[in-house]
Structure formats: C-alpha cells, structure tokens
C-alpha cells in the first residue's frame, strides 16, 4: 500500500510514525535537519525502539563524526520556524538532555558532508513488517506535521516489502558514502 502524506489534516508523517513503531523496532532516518523538538513530539514511541541509525548532514567542514570522533556541529538542532512555540516554552535544556540520552543509548549517528535533500524514515519492526516514509519532510516538529509548515510537504508512505527494502538499500548506500 502506498499513501501520500502532506502533513495537512489526517495525513501527517508523525502520525504515520506513531502508528508504525512497535516495541524493539529498528529505525533508520536520513534527514536534512534534526530537531530536538522533532524527537520530543514522538518521545514515547522512540523510547520503545531497539536501535536508531541516523544519517544527517554536518557543518564540520569535512570532519566525519564516525571516523574522527570529532564533536558533530549541527545547524537547526533547536528546530525550524515551526518549533518557535516550543522554544518559547523555555524547556530546551530539558528536551535536549533527554534527546542526548536517547541518542547515546540507541543511536548510531553518521554525518555526511553533502546536503540531504530527500528525507527517509524506515521502520523495521521485530515481527518482520517494515514501513518507509520518503519525501520532503525532515526530522522537525513541522516536518512531522505537528506544527504548521509554511510550504507544501510531499511524502510517500510505503508498506510493501519490495518498496521498503529498496528504500532501506538506498539508505545504506548513502550511509557508505
């Protein structure tokens, strides 16, 4: 089954992730932006996963986190314009601490020096079922559809094995570069 997700009404990336993540799932994410508020929006579901493979762009001028063990410099960690209401609640320190703890416990993070124009969320559940969401929405609260986006989002949710496997293969190929 293939479903279009535009983050309007009932077709939101975050809602699809919420419904799709089972206990002990393996989550692979390739995103042009990573926001602690994106994490906070799905914290309950993300706490159930077994592992996270996260591929994000770096601002380190060519330094790779996984090889050099240099601190990863990220832009947008506090979110995009849609995350302003969360920043105004003055809980950034708490949310960032919880996100960092989750990443330390669950994540394998790799940075790439090139931009990531397309985003991918791939879930492989312990029962063997997989779901993949590919499109324009990054790992932010607006990219997940929890805050309004100023643009038009176009994402596709895939559930058939051939589609989800090919997208996971694409993730691994990008992860190798």
pLDDT given for residue 57 in this prediction = 87
Q: Which range has the worst mean pLDDT, 17-26, 74-83, 109-118?
A: 74-83
Give residue 62's pLDDT: 44
For residue 169, pLDDT beyond 70: yes
Residue 10 or residue 47, greater confidence? 47
Percent of the chain residues topping a pLDDT of 90: 57
pLDDT one-digit tens code per residue, 57-108:
876 554 444 555 555 555 556 666 666 655 556 577 888 899 999 999 999 9
Q: Domains of the chain, with CATH numbers?
A: 2-176 (3.30.870.10)
3-state secondary structure the chain: CEEEECCECCECHHHHHHHHCCCCCEEEEECCCECHHHHHHCHHHHCCCCEEEEEEECCCCCCCHHHHCCCCCCCCCCCCHHHHHHHCCCCHHHHHHHHHHHHHHHEEEEEECCCCCCEEEEEECCCCCEEEEEECCCECCCCCCCCCCCCCCCEEEECCHHHHHHHHHHHHHHHHC
- CA atoms in the 13 A half-sphere facing the CB of 19: 13
Q: Which residues contact 69 (CB under 8 A, 6 or more apart)?
A: none
pLDDT tens, position by position, 37-58: 899 999 999 999 999 999 998 7
pLDDT of residue 119: 96
For the whole model, what pTM was predicted? 0.86
pLDDT at 18: 96
């Amino acid at each position: 089954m293939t479903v279009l997700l535009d983050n309007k009404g009932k077709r939101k990336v975050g809602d699809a992730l919420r419904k799709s993540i089972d206990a002990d799932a393996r989550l692979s994410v390739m995103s042009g932006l990573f926001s602690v508020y994106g994490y906070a929006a799905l914290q309950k579901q993300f706490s159930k996963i077994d592992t996270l493979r996260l591929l994000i762009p770096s601002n380190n001028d060519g330094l790779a986190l996984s090889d050099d063990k240099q601190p990863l410099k990220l832009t947008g960690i506090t979110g995009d314009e849609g995350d302003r209401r969360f920043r105004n609640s003055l809980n950034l320190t708490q949310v960032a601490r919880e996100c960092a703890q989750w990443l330390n416990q669950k994540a394998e993070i790799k940075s790439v020096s090139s931009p990531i124009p397309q985003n991918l969320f791939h879930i492989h559940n312990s029962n063997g079922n997989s779901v993949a969401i590919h499109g324009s929405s990054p790992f932010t609260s607006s990219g997940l559809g929890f805050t309004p986006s100023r643009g038009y989002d176009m994402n596709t949710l895939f559930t058939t094995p051939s589609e989800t496997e090919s997208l996971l293969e694409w993730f691994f190929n990008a992860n190798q570069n």
